[in-house]
Amino acid sequence: MNLASRLVQLQQSDAQAALLKMNRGLERETLRITQEGALATTMHPRSLGATFKHPLITTDYAEALLEFITPVATSIDITLAQLRDVHRLAYQAIGDELLWPLSMPCYLNDPKDIRLAYFGTSHSGRMKTVYRQGLTHRYGAVMQTIAGVHFNWSISDALWEILARQDGCADSSDYRSEKYFGLLRNFKRFAWVIPYLFGASPVLCKSFLKHSFANLDFHELPNGMVYVPHATSLRMSDLGYTNKEQADLKITYNSLDDYVAGLRRAVFTRSEQFADIGIHDGDTWHQLNANILQIENEFYSPIRPKRVAEKGETPTQALERGGVQYIEVRALDVNPFSPVGINAEQMRFLDLFLLYCLLSESPELSLECQQATERNLTKIVLRGREAGLTLTDELGEHTVADRLTDLFSELERIATLMGAEAELYQRALDEFKPSIAEPELTYSGKVLATYTEAAKLFRQVGMELAVQYREELLASELEYYSEAQFQQMAADSLAAQAAEEAADTGTFADFIADYFTQAQAKKKRA
């Protein structure tokens, strides 16, 4: 069914109510830094609980790289209130330290200052740290300090029932997975839209380049910063998370089975490049294995199909068992113009964009076409604000402005179906629409302009924003959680970690061997 026909059928009031019940969750990464603007070398505050088991606060690669997670909610306002509260709690716990408000890291002196995240002494906790040790050997520690925001999203059960009925199908896990993979393919086609509008890392600290081999057209600012003139998201360039061997994996998004098979193949295919690192010397581990991917999470993609895994399951086994439950958008830079890295307007745009990807027809993507979408993404990441820039896709060659104009026209049609919130969704589109004709109005354009102006006065934009956001959030009250709830979460997480450590048996090497033996098993569809 084409988009126009689909939208006509979604004009009924019950469909509009179902459209609005989208499920969302956020994962925001942010570095702890010192008052001098350097990476914090302190351990994660114990008052925040155990990162291994806390439901809202963990660490990503490094001890200093906090990750804040909001639970699933259907209200954007609630999700942002939860995220603000977690920031308030963190600020109270880290003392004089600050939270870095940008994707690209602060001043980096020595990679030895970057402490790997610690998750306790249990076999599972140790596995998480060894995985990060493997990332260090494979890609370098500095690259892993880059931060982003992940947007987790799904539609309501009520909307699934309506869509299945329109398609003359049963509402099953197979049907939902098929439609979500259609979304994934369309997202791949339009993934470049996200860094164009929301990329916010055209600038970075010159200290980062000491640890990078990327050959980009860097220009210097007088305050120790460098930039690429028309870039939108250096976070998503070769400065960021890249694995050359991943390009040979040929992982496609044409079906759940093909996707799972491709990921599993990567986890069990030896890498000549990484084999030289070695796996472990006695009880000193360098990486989990010598394969192209240590585990599935190492696969970089701007979007992932997801399902909450049961105990002992890998992500692909969870997908095999129950199909796609939600999708995770991973292409978002931290928004430096928001105290919590993302705002409501972005979330509403993403709602409309993902609905467009889901509701539109989505032919299979050949490997050649998929690689073309990835070239378009790279072009926008490095040259997105360049005048007259063109992209080539299945429809031919068009300017970025023309493609965005067509897309926004479709998104406006979807916005009219958002019932009581239609005006809010239209307002979000109105906020971003001017940047189609004026690329300097994009987040990346504004970030570069801000840094260029600040450089004239030798001001440090990142530090000024970090101080401002800390003061703002600490001066305001908790909105959703209570102090007692936070204290209980911390206590429960510490107890859960201690219980898991006490329950462990056998050696760590046996635990890892058992994990990968079980990971090879295919799960039957529930």
0.85 surpassed by pTM: yes
Question: Are 252 and 367 a contacting pair, CB within 8 Å?
Answer: yes
Mean pLDDT, rounded, for 244-261: 86
285 φ, ψ (degrees, to nearest 5): -100, 135
pLDDT per position as a tens digit, 132-161: 999 999 988 888 899 999 999 999 999 999
- The pair of three-digit structure tokens given for residue 121, joined into one six-digit string: 């002494």
pLDDT at 244 over 70: no
pLDDT at 395 over 90: no
Spatial separation of the C-alpha atoms in residues 36 and 261, rounded to whole Å: 48
Q: Look at phi and psi of residue 171 and say left if phi exceeds 0, alpha if psi is from -120 to 50, else beta.
A: beta
Sequence-distant (≥ 6) Cβ neighbours of residue 340 within 8 angstroms: 28, 80, 83, 84, 87
Give the whole-angstrom CA distance, residue 173 versus residue 168. Answer: 15
**Does residue 468 or residue 394 have the better pLDDT?**
468
Query: What pLDDT was estimated at residue 109?
Result: 75
Does residue 241 surpass a pLDDT of 60? Answer: no
What is residue 245's predicted lDDT score, i.e. its pLDDT?
A: 66
Phi, psi of 58 (to 5 degrees): -140, -170
| 3-class SS string, 327-389 | EEEEEECCCCCCCCCCCHHHHHHHHHHHHHHHHCCCCCCCHHHHHHHHHHHHHHHHHCCCCCC
pLDDT over threshold 60, residue 314: yes
Q: What is the pLDDT of residue 108?
A: 79
Output the pLDDT for position 33. 96
Q: Beta strands of 157-300 (E only): which ranges? A: 203-205, 219-220, 225-227, 280-281, 284-285
DSSP 10: T
- Asked which of 239-253, 328-342, 461-475 is least confident by mean pLDDT, the reply is 239-253
- pLDDT value at 243 more than 60: no
Amino acid present at 514: D
**Least confident residue range of 64-78, 101-115, 171-185:** 101-115
Name the amino acid, one letter, at 478: L
Across 234-259, average pLDDT: 81
On the question of pLDDT at 354 being above 70, the answer is: yes
| pLDDT for 240 | 61
> What confidence category does residue 242 fall into, taking pLDDT thresholds of 50, 70 and 90?
low
Rounded to whole angstroms, the Cα distance separating 144 from 135 reads 8
Query: Token digits for 296?
Result: 């599935």
pLDDT of residue 248: 74
Would you give the distance in Å from CA 347 to the centre of its chain?
13
For the stretch 357-392, pLDDT in tens is 999 999 999 999 999 999 999 999 999 999 999 999
The domains found in the chain, sorted by start residue, are 3-519 (3.30.590.20)
89-138 pLDDT, tens digit each: 999 999 999 999 999 998 877 888 899 999 999 999 999 999 999 999 99
208-230 per-position pLDDT tens digit: 888 776 778 899 998 889 999 99
Q: Is 522 helix (H, G, I), strand (E, B) or coil?
A: coil
Q: What are phi and psi of 243, to 5 degrees?
A: -140, 105
pLDDT at 212 (0 to 100): 74
Give the model's pLDDT for residue 224: 86
Q: Using a pLDDT cut of 70, give the percent of the chain over it.
A: 98
pLDDT digits (tens, 9 = 90+) for 496-517: 999 999 999 999 999 999 999 9
Other beta carbons within 10 Å of 177: 22
Helix (H, G, I), strand (E, B) or coil at 521: coil
Alpha helices for 48-121 (secondary structure H): 76-93
Report the range of poorest mean pLDDT among 317-326, 332-341, 416-425, 454-463: 454-463
pLDDT at 429: 98
Greatest pairwise CA separation for the chain in angstroms = 65
